[in-house]
Chain A
Amino acid sequence: MTACPLVASGISVRFGGVHAVRDVSLQVEPGQLVGLIGPNGAGKTSFVDAITGFVPSEGRVEIDGVDVTSARPHIRAKHGLTRTWQSVDLFNDLSVAENLAVAATEPSWTRTLRELVRNGRKTAPAVEQLMADVGIESMADLMPEALSEGQRKLVGVARALAGSPVVVCLDEPAAGLDTHESTQLGVRLKRLVDQGTAMLLIDHDMGFVFGICDHIVVLEFGVVIAEGTPADIRQDPGVIAAYLGAGSSDTSIEARS
């Protein structure tokens, strides 16, 4: 039996007097693409910050059966939990290929010593492959500042995927992409999940999330208000109310089609 890529249980985050995330539990099964949605400020990013170790939190986090609850972010990354940010924090002094190489390369003393005397330019085959999978091979030698917002997002996603993670948390990868780009991204993400990388996807665009996710968790005010397949969530009156404000529940989302 394979272990669950990600099990987060009882996660709570507080900022001063504000309880951003309250006792949220969530798991991502092997080969699953789980969507985490909710209105602005619902605590989605705080939840990801918590499980990846960037904000102090209560609760328990397991990656592939290993308890990483008290581990620092880079240790969690080594165990296979990586993430992207909304702000796409690329390394601005490194080319696209180099950005990926940082995440893809396991540091080793022998390599470091070898590279002291030798040019290390050659891009690793794994990085080449990944760039092709994500569709950014044409940008390999460009610096981040030369990329459009959408391209930067893609590189950010690719960097999180470098180093063969067990589970990747994507924070709004489709924001800033046009329809064509986001559809393409969806197809690529789906393919990567089929190849074995589990994913947790945050996005505002319900159309995007509904289209590609296997399972959806809805947060509002830091708590889970609904969970289920896209079809279940589409029908859930609580979710509609959360998005459109109380009183709108009479308008089913289905009404648009």
Chain B
Amino acid sequence: MSQIILFALLGLGPGALIASVGLGVVLSYRGSGVINLSMGAMVMLAGYLFWAFRTGYFGISFATAFALPLTLVAMAGVGCVVELVVFRRLRTASPLAKLVASLAVLLLVQAAVLLAFGSTPLNSPAVLPSSSVTVFNVTVPIAQFILAGIVGIIVVVLVGLYRYTRFGLATRAASENERSALLAGLSPSLIALSNTVVGTVLAGLVGILAASVVGLDSTTLPLLIIPALAAALFARFTSFPITYLAGLLIGIAESLVYLASTQSWFPTSQGIALPGLQQVLEFLLIVAALWWRGSSLPQRGEIVEQSLPLVPYQDRLLQRVALPSVACAIALILLPFDFRQALITGLVAMMICLSFVVITGYVGQLSVMQLALAGFAGLLVSHIGDTGGIGFLPAAILGILASVGLGIAVAISALRVRGATLVVVTLAAAEAIQQFIFANGSWGASQTPGSLQQPNLLGLNLGTDAGFRGLDGKLPSPVFGFLALVIVVVLYLLVANLRRGDLGRRMLAVRSNERAAAAAGVHVPRVKIIAFGLGSAIAGIAGVMYTYDFGTFSTSNYDVMIGFALIAGLYVLGISMAQGAVLAGLGATGALIPLVLQKWVLPQNQIATYVQLIAALGLIVQLNLFPEGVLPIMWKRKQDKAQKLERDRGLPAADVSTDALIPEGALRRSNHEASSIVDGAPI
């Protein structure tokens, strides 16, 4: 019994930290309508900055009394920059664009921390007293109580601020109806800025205090966003006290799960307690919160221009594909082995990207679990495709089906929620799959390298060890590359052609306007589920190919952050076009472009971090300057030019009668109205 109390109390500190990130999320949402995925990264950044100021990492070391306020000022500055540079221009953008922008901030901050401080977890200097107190006959570090107390006080202050001050009233008013707030003389931009800064500083403060309790780790801290999102969801992104209580309870529950895992009755796997139950708990909590609160999430009354990346209708798909395919096949033969390997890895990454094109590009839903689903299929294949296993095709098909099943299961759990909130579920699912399945001793990545039977079809070896070895005669065999190429071409045609058929039309209808789609007889949830099924199948194929590509299943290939970086790169290039997937695949970790950069441009190590940094910066630039993505905007310019050319020649545009007035480059009204309002808003 006393153990239960002890561990419950030990959960207070982490719980307070979760709560503070949750408070940051709520502040951000109320202030600017962004579900800010980067709040966990802000905790990490503050922790590292404080460590650096204290230990003299930047040259001068400060005492806590100076380092603490200095860090908070720096965090306020970071909050300002993020709001002004990243979110300000996106005020009227779609929720998807805002979400992706917060992803960019997360990637950027993490990459910066990794480059500046390295990836080894650090011991942060303690700020809180290290003494202990005894309550209920158990001795607990007093820091746990202080942390929970401080966050509690912050909540009381925030509640008072929102209820009684002008700032609070203005925030509540602006988040309910932005237009009326403008008419009342309020400045929604300033309100958004203030809330983001308050949220960032607050998360930073608690991050500094808690760093000595939970440790400084650049991979785990950003993912605090997952339990924090659960807490914020329970609070409907509105209530501070509920966020606080939910955060504390999640911390306590996770601590108790840890306690349980030390008990003899706890299920084990190869003698080690089952891992990843905390993440499964977080996932289940988020699903529960969505079912309970999802339909009543507050709709912000902001002025939204629902402009999403363009999805052009493309003709002559086969002709478009032919030349690049031949070039790729020749490259597979000619390139030296390391480039060949990178090209093959790139081909597989293209498949993953194609699955994002279906779900995010066509249906407008952001799923960050595609990489995890790929991993799930790959893992299954690594087990059942073993020597003496069931062989290539059955194993691959089973793997793909498993991926589809898991993907659809997660999608169904999120159907109650409209709009971009789906990302929350997929994020928690991705991390749960990673920790609970991949990291498991028995069913996880346990297989001994080299024992995987390479793909073999009708007696033909299609694997990386096939007889034909390309010009340099080294592994991997181009034959496996051909296999990957054929699959990519088929999937590419399928995804590009999808846009032209009935199902694709319904997907785009759902993306444009769920309400109007329903009125046109479209079953909106079914279309979303089909998209998830299709996307998961494509991801599953990619996972199977990854496993054969590397000859083994490796957990690190499926890290959530790698998935984020892939989405970022794809979004920059054009998440709504299959071509975008091809280019983004080449830039994926381990693919051709990073290899070139690594060989000749950037430092050898940390190439993945640099790629992450480039993708994040690219995304921020792209979202601000050409929100439609590089390829769609190029496509559009080409179309406009062709049209103009035709008109200049005095030819009527095809099939357009003269009485149909077509304003050149006509904008939709709402866009224009929205942007003209925001452009003039004072700070």
A174 interfacial by beta-carbon distance below 8 Å: no
Interface residues of A in 106-164 (CB under 8 A from B): 107, 111-112, 115-121, 138-142, 144-149, 151, 159-160, 162-163
State A164–B654 Cα separation when bound (angstroms): 29
Whether the Cβ atoms of A116 and B497 lie closer than 8 Å is: yes
- Which residue on A lies nearest to B313, using beta carbons? A95
CB distance from B520 to the nearest CB of A (A): 4
CB distance from A41 to the nearest CB of B (A): 17
- Which residue on A lies nearest to B493, using beta carbons? A117
A190 interfacial by beta-carbon distance below 8 Å: no
- Which residue on B lies nearest to A88, using beta carbons? B516
CB distance from B390 to the nearest CB of A (A): 27
A101 interfacial by beta-carbon distance below 8 Å: yes
Residue interface bits B489-525, CB-to-A below 8 A is 1, else 0: 0000010011011110110110111011111111110
Whether the Cβ atoms of A138 and B520 lie closer than 8 Å is: no
Q: A115-B502, A146-B666 are in contact. Are A103 and B520 (CB under 8 A)?
A: yes
Interface size class of B (residues with CB under 8 A): 35 or more
State A144–B668 Cα separation when bound (angstroms): 9
Partner of B518, one of A74, A91, A111: A74
Q: A93-B511, A138-B656 are in contact. Are A107 and B506 (CB under 8 A)?
A: yes
A102 interfacial by beta-carbon distance below 8 Å: yes
Residue interface bits A231-257, CB-to-B below 8 A is 1, else 0: 000000000000000000000000000
Whether the Cβ atoms of A74 and B500 lie closer than 8 Å is: no
| Stretch in B43-51, B208-216, B567-575, B657-665 touching the partner | B657-665
Partner of A116, one of B501, B518, B523, B659: B501
CB distance from B561 to the nearest CB of A (A): 31
Whether the Cβ atoms of B501 and A91 lie closer than 8 Å is: no
Whether the Cβ atoms of A163 and B521 lie closer than 8 Å is: yes
CB distance from A156 to the nearest CB of B (A): 9
Partner of B515, one of A54, A98, A139: A54
State A115–B499 Cα separation when bound (angstroms): 10
State A92–B516 Cα separation when bound (angstroms): 11
Whether the Cβ atoms of B497 and A115 lie closer than 8 Å is: yes
Whether the Cβ atoms of B502 and A139 lie closer than 8 Å is: no
Whether the Cβ atoms of A115 and B501 lie closer than 8 Å is: yes
Inter-chain contacts of B497 with A (CB < 8 A) = 115-120
Interface residues of A in 46-93 (CB under 8 A from B): 52, 54, 72-74, 77-78, 82-83, 85, 89-93
CB distance from B139 to the nearest CB of A (A): 54
Interface residues of B in 512-543 (CB under 8 A from A): 512-513, 515-524
How many interface contacts (CB-CB < 8 Å) are there between A and B? 132
Q: A102-B509, A107-B523, A115-B497 are in contact. Are A73 and B518 (CB under 8 A)?
A: yes
Q: A93-B310, A94-B508, A151-B660 are in contact. Are A103 and B501 (CB under 8 A)?
A: no
State A112–B523 Cα separation when bound (angstroms): 15
Whether the Cβ atoms of B515 and A93 lie closer than 8 Å is: no
A40 interfacial by beta-carbon distance below 8 Å: no
State A233–B501 Cα separation when bound (angstroms): 48
Whether the Cβ atoms of B521 and A138 lie closer than 8 Å is: no
Whether the Cβ atoms of B516 and A91 lie closer than 8 Å is: yes
Inter-chain contacts of A142 with B (CB < 8 A) = 656, 660, 662
Inter-chain contacts of B500 with A (CB < 8 A) = 115, 119-121
Whether the Cβ atoms of B524 and A138 lie closer than 8 Å is: no
Inter-chain contacts of B494 with A (CB < 8 A) = 116-117
Whether the Cβ atoms of B313 and A148 lie closer than 8 Å is: no
State A27–B330 Cα separation when bound (angstroms): 70
Whether the Cβ atoms of A101 and B505 lie closer than 8 Å is: yes
Whether the Cβ atoms of A91 and B502 lie closer than 8 Å is: no
A105 interfacial by beta-carbon distance below 8 Å: yes
Whether the Cβ atoms of B516 and A74 lie closer than 8 Å is: no
CB distance from B179 to the nearest CB of A (A): 15
Whether the Cβ atoms of A112 and B501 lie closer than 8 Å is: yes
- Which residue on A lies nearest to B306, using beta carbons? A92
Partner of B519, one of A77, A94, A98, A138: A77
Q: A91-B508, A93-B508, A101-B502 are in contact. Are A145 and B668 (CB under 8 A)?
A: yes
B667 interfacial by beta-carbon distance below 8 Å: yes
B289 interfacial by beta-carbon distance below 8 Å: no
Interface residues of B in 258-295 (CB under 8 A from A): none
CB distance from A214 to the nearest CB of B (A): 25
Inter-chain contacts of B522 with A (CB < 8 A) = 74, 102, 107
B311 interfacial by beta-carbon distance below 8 Å: yes
Counting chain B CB atoms within 10 Å of each CB, which of A98, A111, A139, A140 scores highest? Answer: A98
For the complex of A and B, the 5 pairs showing the least CB-CB separation, nearest first, are A115-B501, A138-B657, A77-B521, A120-B501, A89-B516
**Can you sample 20 A-B contacts with CB below 8 Å?**
A74-B520, A77-B518, A77-B519, A77-B520, A77-B521, A83-B519, A89-B512, A91-B512, A92-B306, A92-B668, A93-B512, A94-B509, A102-B517, A111-B502, A112-B503, A120-B501, A139-B660, A141-B656, A142-B656, A145-B667
A74-B521, A91-B508, A159-B520 are known; give 18 further A-B pairs, CB within 8 A: A52-B519, A73-B515, A89-B516, A92-B306, A92-B668, A98-B505, A102-B506, A102-B509, A102-B520, A111-B502, A112-B502, A116-B501, A119-B500, A138-B659, A145-B667, A147-B660, A151-B660, A151-B661
